Amino acid sequence: MTKVSIPRTFRVKSFGCQMNVYDGERMAELLGEQGMAAAEEGDDADLVVLNTCHIREKAAEKVYSDIGRLKREDGTSPLIAVAGCVAQAEGEEIMARAKDVRMVVGPQAYHRLPDMIDRASKGERVTDTDMPADAKFGALPARRKRAPSAFLTVQEGCDKFCTYCVVPYTRGAEISRPFADLIEEARRLVYQGAREITLLGQNVNAWDGEDAKGRKIGLDGLVRELAALPDLARIRYTTSHPNDMSDALIAAHGEVDKLMPYLHLPVQSGSDRVLAAMNRSHTAESYIRLIERVREARPDIAISGDFIVGFPGESEQDFADTLSIVDTIGYAAAFSFKYSPRPGTPAATMEDQITREVMDDRLQRLQAALTRDSHAFNRATVGRTCDVLVERTGRREGQWLGKTPWLQSAYFTGDHAVGDLVRVELMDANPNSLSARVLQLA
Ligand code: SAH
Ligand code: SF4
Ligand code: F3S
């Protein structure tokens, strides 16, 4: 056993979804509380936490090359912890394949990192991939994050079992964090400067709980309670499943001003045959109806989505149905992926796996359509007046960057500060951003 000294500096690198970003922040806060300091950009860290993603093969394989890259010129390595979804799914394999890894810690166990680090420093190799329901959050220190826009995980896990997806296995069953804890965390984030909070969950709209008076509430109720925090200006949530989009949540989009007009609602495919094979339990038609109702409640809402091309058995006609739903919805933004077979998921062993060439071709055609639509969306917002939340300085002198209500990046000049809400007119649409003219401080 090689003994190393207790680490003094750390770096947490997060990959994958926003929930990993959130977990990474909380790990950093936990390590900070232990007296460790975040290593400066470019500096060597004593401890490196790789907070990994298992969603597609490429993401998962990246871990091993990242571990290799951590080796220093003198042959030594920092203390390496692999966290996140690859840790959960392949903990043993990582320990066997990568001898430099000292700790493997799952997404539900990272509150125990201090003890693990202690043992790893004494030479042990430690794995903790337990999935205790709800133990983690109570054991973490209070939030320290200071930023105009903050993430807040309200729900974790997934019971949907889409046949292609690893998340139900890496993150476990759906659980909702208690209402009181969320209000407390939100208050603290706002006190520390957050003007915008994005509520996170693998199925965030499945969140439920009891409010302060013991009444059962859903995500809409939580949104309404948060909207009462005076200094909080904006609320967002992601990611939602179509089947958990309740009437009350749809109504909230029309009634709660602080709830931003943006909805990320993945459909994955436009073919009912493929949707059934994916176990999505919605149809193309029911999804389209749902979006229509959301748009009735909030006509200017921007819709974004996720798509998978090349799911096993996807025919050219199935793919044409996907292009057709894209045309029908008119997405403001979207993510699209080639199907990646994941170990242990039902789809991985289905017949009729699609060739790489076909997937490449379909992805290209789909992305062309999605890019066309996001440009069209941006162009359609030119001339609108809206508030932009200032997030950082731009590349040019005096330039600032911020987000519109529709989650577009907008840049403008003037005398502002991070966290300001600035009233602007949107002027020019570029592929990935808009220029804006400042009207007055909102
Ligand atoms: N819970 C969310 C997001 C899950 S992961 C939801 O259901 O929408 C984010 C996206 O990754 C999914 O929406 C899906 O489009 C994509 N994805 C998941 N598993 C995949 C796989 N095996 N291959 C390719 N894309 C996948
Ligand atoms: Fe994965 Fe489906 Fe759950 Fe989303 S809803 S996390 S795609 S199983
Ligand atoms: Fe990846 Fe896990 Fe998120 S697999 S997408 S980091 S839930």
CB 385 within 8 A of CB 406: no
- State yes or no: pLDDT of 1 exceeds 80: no
Among the bound ligands, name the one nearest to the CA of residue 153.
3
Ligand 2 pocket mutation, candidates 18, 56, 162, criterion most atoms within 8 A of CB: 162
Q: What is the pLDDT of residues 265-277, one digit of tens each?
A: 999 999 999 999 9
Question: Would you say the CATH fold of 385-441 matches that of 136-381?
Answer: no
In the predicted model, is pLDDT for residue 93 greater than 70?
yes
Contacts 24+ apart (CB under 8 A), 293-301: 293/250, 294/245, 294/250, 294/253, 294/263, 294/265, 296/254, 297/250, 297/251, 297/253, 297/254, 298/253, 298/254, 298/261, 300/261, 300/406, 301/253, 301/261, 301/262, 301/263
Mean pLDDT, residues 205-210 = 97
Is the per-residue pLDDT at 59 higher than 50? yes
- Summarised one tens digit per residue, pLDDT across range 354-370 is 999 999 999 999 999 99
Helix, strand or coil, per DSSP, at residue 388: strand
- Of the candidate ranges 22-26, 56-60, 209-213, the one whose mean pLDDT is the lowest: 56-60
Q: Is 158 annotated as a binding residue?
A: yes
Domain ranges of the chain: 9-132, 136-381, 385-441
Specify the pLDDT at position 42.
Answer: 82
165 is in an annotated binding site: yes
The pocket around ligand 1, CB under 6 angstroms, is made up of 55-56, 158, 164-165, 167, 202-203, 239, 241, 266, 268, 306, 308, 337, 339-340, 342
What is the predicted pLDDT for the residue at 442? 47
Give the pocket of ligand 3 (CB within 6 Å): 16-17, 19-20, 53-55, 84-85, 166-167, 170-171, 202
Task: Report pLDDT digits (tens) over 253-305.
Answer: 999 999 999 999 999 999 999 999 999 999 999 999 999 999 999 999 999 99
pLDDT at residue 441, rounded to an integer: 52
Mean pLDDT of 63-68: 92
Dump pLDDT digits (tens) for 384-433.
999 999 999 988 888 999 999 999 999 999 999 999 999 999 999 988 89
CATH class of 9-132: alpha beta
Does CATH number 2.40.50.140 belong to domain 385-441? Answer: yes
Fold held by 136-381? pyruvate-formate lyase- activating enzyme (3.80.30)
| pLDDT tens per residue, range 224-247 | 999 999 999 999 999 999 999 999
Average pLDDT of the chain, as a whole number? 95
Q: Is this prediction's pTM over 0.75? A: yes
Closest CA to 164 of 306, 303, 329: 306
